[in-house]
Structure 1
Amino acid sequence: MLDLKTLLIMEFCTTALQAVAWLLAWRAWRQIYELKVVAAGFLAIAFGLLLLIQRGPDPALWRILTDNTVIKIGVVLLADGLTRFLGQPRCLRFGVFCLVAHFLCVGASLLLAPQALSIRIHASTIFTLALMAVMIRTLVQDRSQPAFLRWITIALLAEYMGASVLQSALVYLYPATVGNGPILSNINSWYFFQGHLFLLGFFLCLLFMVGMRLSMDLRDRNSALAREIAERRRLESELSASLDAEKAARQEQRQLMHMVSHEFRTPLAAIRYAGEMLDVMLERPQEAVAKRLRAIEDAVSRMTMLIDRFLASERQGEGLLKVEKIDTLALTEQVQNHFDLVALGWRLHFTRVESLEDYWADAEMLRTVVVNLVDNALKYSPPETKVDIALFVRNNLLIIEVSDQGIGVPAGEQSHIGRRFFRASNTRATSGSGLGLHTCQQLLNYHNGSLSLRPRGGTGTESSSETGPDAGMGTVATVRLPLSGLLSGQSWQHVETATS
């Protein structure tokens, strides 16, 4: 005959190890949070078995009730953990109801008939049938696990239900099997032995279910990753096609700009030549005729300048630099001659020009910057005022300042100045394209330089952090370029840090 206490010790050790195994599995795979409920169920059963082992041959009634209730709590947790793991509606409320009913029934039998062990056995059987039926229904409805694994688990649960029914039947038909004692004896050891086998089988079934769950999760993740890779490849292909189309469009735009500028320059040159011929042929033209000839020349010059701005912007976008040695005095003479051709040179006032004969830069780009700044100053200043120009060296920087007495820049629009096609709100009465300052900033970027605007009334000659006051006080445009030019490879940030 099997020894009941030995079986209880063996079953306690096995169940405790299973509880530890599920706790470790839960810590390894936290995303399967249901494993902690299963671990709690095995832990409760192990604790209940430990209480059974420790109680003596004549235990108190409350001890009998406590031991059985703790084991039944473990069964409820196992049922709830299984339903949650399979994604089915939880059965915790039903399990608590069955637990309370079992507790009241066993408690009443212990108070009214403490020697009637059969009543407690029948109550335990009914409790087991109810909880096992819930788990079987969960497995039947599940489609996440393989069919063979679900049916093996169902057969295992059905076997335990059959063993419980068999024990109740034996107690009912053969009362001598319980000996009319208050507790179980060795004659009932077979029931605990098959219960031990059931827990081992249930543990293995759950273990395989977890393995299948992880395998399916991995397969789903691999499928999602494959879809994401395919989508990224598709997007990369579309992006590459878009970039190719954008490059082709930009190339066509550049070709169009060059073609249009060439077509514009031809008639403009003819108009300029015709105007010069008229000026030569008419020795003493009338004032009205002379005024119109000057207007024609001025219009042609401005149209040519506008074309140069567009071409400079396109050229800057292509990143073509023609680095050469520049003489700052020659640069100022070129600027003066440029505005002399449009009869505006008399308004230029060079307040300070320091000679620098060994500065390396793109001469055309740098000249375009100065001409654009001076043209802006002339355009937005009263026609009788002068535009001050200074070119000097300070703190290892080449400084170019263009100062006017014009309409200035509204304070709230300082941050927008320099955007492509942006024009301040107080410039509506004057024609313009909004490309002058934008072109200057883009060309200066290639020289590691910077452009800043400040009100003429501001203090200092190199401040770029002031916020503009009310319009009408004039503007000072300041260009800062590394004195080393484009041959040293130094960045603008390095020069500024070294001189701060």
Structure 2
Amino acid sequence: MKIDLLTMNLVLLVQLVVQAAGWYALRRGVRDMPGVRNIMLGSAAAALGAILHAVREVSPGFLIICAANLMIIIAYATVMVGMTQLVGRPSVRWFAWIMVSATAIVWPMMLLLAPENVSIRIVALTGFIGIIAIASALNMLAASNIPPALRWALVTVNLAHGGASLLRAFHAQFLRPPDASWQLEPEQVLWVLSTIIYAGLHFIVLVALVGSRLLDELTQRNAALANEVETRRQLQAQLSAALEKESDLRREQRLFIDMVGHDFRTPVAVIDRAAEMLENLLPQAGQAVLQRLEAIRGAGRRLRRLMDTFLANEQLEGGLSAGRRLPVQLKPLLQELCRDVGAGNAERLRLSVAPGEDDLAALGDPDWIATICANLIDNALKYSATGQSVALSLGRQGGVAIIGIADQGIGIPAEDLAQLGERFFRGSNAGKARGTGLGLHAVRRLLEAQNGELRLRSEPGQGTHAEISLPLAPISSERRSI
């Protein structure tokens, strides 16, 4: 029986190189899957072992023979370790190290002690391969977490190859004629052929197993994603319900605040009107009575301004729109505020209007602009000594109206300027002066809502200069025609 064994070995070599390349490509796509790396390394070792066996035919040196057979055993042992990792079985590294170590010891001894005895080397190689293949089959038999068809395919392929390898070892030891050439034995040809078939089937089944694991992982990830989507949907529903409830509470809060604001303003207006009537009815009353009536009216005005500030804050916090957008004549508004806020201090307030700007109008909400200016005028009077004047100015700069309010009071420390305007914050030198820390906060928020701006310049003991900028109202057609 004449078969070209060299051709069959070449076929096996090409097959192992192609499979090693295939495992390398597969490894790049499934880096996180356990076991694939060792299977790839084992396939590469098998291809290298086959190459060394081919080199041995040309140059049968001591190191080449040892390295070729050691590389083959390393390949089988490494693939076995990768298979156990792939299916989640306990580690068999210890067994792999025993096989590799035994090969590394036995082969040099055999070549040194009996270099002419080929049979014993065939027995050692095929015997070790058979033991590893059967051990792999038994390990796969206990792997209950993979599809039964793949499990039994792995068991069958490894058992068949292990049995064929042990049978080849038995034949080489006990049945081989002493004078026969091992390269021409039919048993050697059959064993190489079985190795080719085993390598192909084993590669196919392992790739199918990797695909099965990928499918399982994809199914698990899809299930996890579906659970996460459902959880997020439930959370979104809960959040929507909470937002709706908060919106309802906000509406109720605004209605309540509007109602309370109206109910507060009414008695304050009644008290102010009653005090005004008493002043008119008692023109000859003593100075002490008149001072008390003025104090009553002043307290009412302060309470009304405080309510306006508080309501403006609540409107902005509630997410309301930026108020009305109306042309607001600024000079009459400031004159009215001087009479109202500066009642009892009229001589301290001085209003100057730039030439030709008597009819200067800003675009905004009249009530909000009044609240802004009233707060700043009240602060200027409050933090200035009795008798010190407060200068109000009105003009324009480019496309904005400028309102200036300058006092000669206690000023603001430099370290407080950055925080001034935060809710409930008061300057460190405010002392016992009455205040809530809401006024400047409301001023800044109301200006922002109307595209305005507040700038403060101050030095302790040198007074404070507040500058308000508001967008100008469009010029009416009547004014254009003048």
TM over 0.5, yes or no?
yes
* 2:444 alignment counterpart: 441
Answer with 57-66 or 297-306: which moved more: 57-66
List aligned pairs for 1:325-474, cutoff 5 A: 325-340=327-342, 342-353=343-354, 355=357, 356-455=359-458, 457=459, 471-474=460-463
* 2:209 alignment counterpart: 209
**Aligned to 1:480, which of 469, 472, 481?**
469
In 2: Cα distance, 1:213 partner to 1:82 partner: 12
* 2:149 alignment counterpart: 148
Contact 2:66 2:108 in 1 (8 A): yes
In 2: Cα distance, 1:155 partner to 1:296 partner: 105
Contact 1:44 1:70 in 2 (8 A): yes
The AA in structure 1 aligned to 2:449 is: Y
List aligned pairs for 1:297-336, cutoff 5 A: 297-316=297-316, 317-319=319-321, 321-336=323-338
Contact 1:401 1:479 in 2 (8 A): yes
RMSD: 2.5
The AA in structure 1 aligned to 2:68 is: D
Structure 2 residues not aligned, in runs of 5+:
477-482
In 2: Cα distance, 1:179 partner to 1:416 partner: 104
Q: Give the aligned length.
A: 470
Deviation for aligned residue 1:296 = 0.8
Contact 1:404 1:475 in 2 (8 A): yes
- How has the CA–CA distance of structure 1 residues 287 and 142 changed in structure 2, closer, same or farther, with 3 Å as cutoff? farther
In 1: Cα distance, 2:431 partner to 2:180 partner: 110
In 2: Cα distance, 1:278 partner to 1:221 partner: 83
* 1:465 alignment counterpart: none
Contact 1:360 1:486 in 2 (8 A): no
In 2: Cα distance, 1:217 partner to 1:452 partner: 62
Contact 2:390 2:406 in 1 (8 A): yes
Contact 1:16 1:46 in 2 (8 A): yes
Deviation for aligned residue 1:298 = 0.9
In 2: Cα distance, 1:135 partner to 1:428 partner: 87
List aligned pairs for 1:39-438, cutoff 5 A: 39-56=40-57, 59-92=60-93, 94-176=95-177, 179=179, 184-187=183-186, 188-316=188-316, 317-319=319-321, 321-340=323-342, 342-353=343-354, 355=357, 356-438=359-441
The AA in structure 2 aligned to 1:189 is: V
Deviation for aligned residue 1:197 = 1.1
TM normalised by structure 1 equals 0.86
Answer with 127-136 or 231-240: which moved more: 127-136
Deviation for aligned residue 1:57 = 7.2
The AA in structure 2 aligned to 1:385 is: Q
TM normalised by structure 2 equals 0.89
In 1: Cα distance, 2:139 partner to 2:417 partner: 70
- How has the CA–CA distance of structure 1 residues 186 and 118 changed in structure 2, closer, same or farther, with 3 Å as cutoff? closer
Residue 194 of structure 2 aligns to a residue whose secondary structure is helix
Deviation for aligned residue 1:179 = 4.3
Contact 1:361 1:485 in 2 (8 A): no
In 2: Cα distance, 1:331 partner to 1:479 partner: 14
Residue 189 of structure 2 aligns to a residue whose secondary structure is helix
Structure 1 residues not aligned, in runs of 5+:
458-470, 488-500
Residue 416 of structure 1 aligns to a residue whose secondary structure is coil
Between the aligned residues of both structures, percent identity stands at: 32
Answer with 67-76 or 49-58: which moved more: 49-58
In 2: Cα distance, 1:104 partner to 1:159 partner: 28
